[in-house]
A and B are shown apart, each in its own frame.
Chain A
């Protein structure tokens, strides 16, 4: 099996605190890989290191066969790593459609700078139309077509989460990093979001998922890696993780171990 993402001995320290310690993991193509762990175990830090927002001095990140260690955030995004944020980060004064269009900023550029864009009128009009049509197709796919011209600020929380996911999809990524996608959603919103993930997964996008909600993690992940205090303590299928004694003691405390085993 080919790998899409590989972390080799990633380490991140903030002063004396080691947030992530010598983390290695291999994510296969065509999988939904979840990274779980209690609060403060280094999950979001890991995502930050993968997509280039957090600098790190030790370790390597390989993406789709290429070493992307130390590359800038936007370069990594262009290579095909999309992401969503724990606290939605949308462009509040723009419409849903425009937000999605920004996600496709670097897709097949016919004009690479503004001067070119201004002089080659036909070319640029076509580029704009193509971008818009593509964004409309994404909206159709995520089921938000009727909201295209609404300002995102006026949307319900769940719909904003889906919009953000659509923006990531618009860049045609091979891999999307999902940072706590289910946080703050009610059960029906959660179902809608997960359905959208599954649809996108079936169409060919892989997911690296960080999540607190066990319901979501156990239902959609193919592989789960568990972190505790920045160190990997277990890895396996959802079933294996659920019965892993180390994981149970990390989440619930050692004294629950016997009860769960029963």
Chain B
């Protein structure tokens, strides 16, 4: 009985959130805002992924934009050049994510220190330059007219249709992510962050754990990129800069590291922030940077940490390692 009640507590908020999300397009009729929310949901998948390696395993990864871009290119080229149905474009993206995880993760995670941070920054830049200059894949023009998803014979073309598709995708990814966070691998990732010296003595292969976290991060990032290419029907290297990598990190930190609610809050707010601050005109960048900085200084645990601390005080009880 107790267990059922506990489970209800745990599963009620997500259900409420999803139901509320279903009504959003009925209330907000501005299709640009819906498009921004769609982008936020695409980004959320990349941020979920980033959370495995950076939030949980504590290895700073500034290459998520590079991965995102390669996923977008792999999918867009596959679909347009080979004339494949759009949803099949997810497959080359997954493959690209796996390859990046192993090829980039293996050398840079077997050693301690900042190597991953450095190699991932370089990786993003190299990927962007290659995408921008390689005429065979479109060069500076990018890949145009990426076709839309078709679902049961219906073309997903309006922002509202895409919104509902993304709700389904995000729910799916949220379930997978939740299950990984609460598995023995999730605990192993956090163990790597908390005290990597003690990890091998628990029988866990430290390098393997980091590479696993990084590979999952890359696969998520590449899938997000693939979906992004369908979302805007167009892929261009100039979108996949280190700035975007940093944006992903900010989204992850802003809401709250390694808590799923925190990741959702952070991603949505940071994606909408340019719109909310539009009235500032030229001062936008300045104010945006200030807000992010103030949050980093005064609320390092992210927005979600306020809620969590209050819960912790009221219940005085179990606190699941900062993982909601």
Chain A contacts to B: CB under 8 angstroms: 51-53, 72-74, 77-78, 82-83, 85, 89-95, 98, 101-103, 105-106, 114, 117-118, 124, 127-128, 131, 149, 151, 167-168, 171
Contacts and interface: CB of A to CB of B under 8 A. Distances in A.
Interface string B194-211: 110111111111100000
B218 to A, nearest CB: 14
B216 A114 contact: yes
A93 B321 contact: yes
Contacts of A77: 200-203
Contacts of B188: 102, 105
Given A118-B176, A149-B318, A91 B195 contact: yes
Given A53-B200, A149-B317, A74 B206 contact: yes
B191 A102 contact: yes
Interface of B: 176, 179-180, 182-185, 187-188, 190-191, 193-195, 197-206, 212, 216, 317-322
B190 A94 contact: yes
Contacts of A93: 190, 193-194, 321-322
A27 to B, nearest CB: 19
Contact of B183 (A52, A73, A117): A117
Nearest to A131: B184
A74 B185 contact: no
Given A77-B202, A167-B202, A95 B319 contact: yes
A17 B21 CA distance: 66
25 contacts: A74-B199, A74-B203, A77-B202, A85-B197, A90-B194, A91-B194, A91-B198, A92-B195, A94-B191, A94-B194, A95-B320, A98-B187, A105-B188, A105-B202, A106-B203, A106-B204, A114-B185, A114-B212, A117-B183, A118-B176, A118-B179, A128-B183, A128-B184, A167-B202, A171-B203
Given A74-B205, A90-B195, A91-B195, A101 B187 contact: yes
A91 B197 contact: no
A91 B206 CA distance: 14
A72 B205 CA distance: 9
A94 B323 CA distance: 9
A176 to B, nearest CB: 10
A114 B189 CA distance: 12
Contacts of B194: 90-94
Given A91-B195, A93-B194, A171-B203, A105 B184 contact: yes
Closest 8 A-B residue pairs measured CB to CB?
A149-B318, A73-B200, A91-B194, A89-B198, A106-B203, A74-B200, A77-B203, A78-B203
Contact of B319 (A72, A118, A149): A149
Contact of B202 (A72, A102, A118): A102
A51 B201 CA distance: 8
Contacts of A171: 202-203
Contacts of A92: 194-195
A146 B179 CA distance: 26
Most buried by B among A73, A93, A168: A93
B65 to A, nearest CB: 24
A171 B204 CA distance: 11
Most buried by B among A127, A151, A171: A151
Nearest to A80: B203
A51 B198 CA distance: 12
Nearest to A168: B201
A124 B318 contact: no
Most buried by B among A85, A89, A94, A118: A94
A52 B184 CA distance: 24
Contact of A95 (B198, B200, B216, B321): B321
Contacts of A151: 319, 321
A85 B321 CA distance: 22
A94 B321 contact: yes
Nearest to A89: B198
A83 B197 CA distance: 12
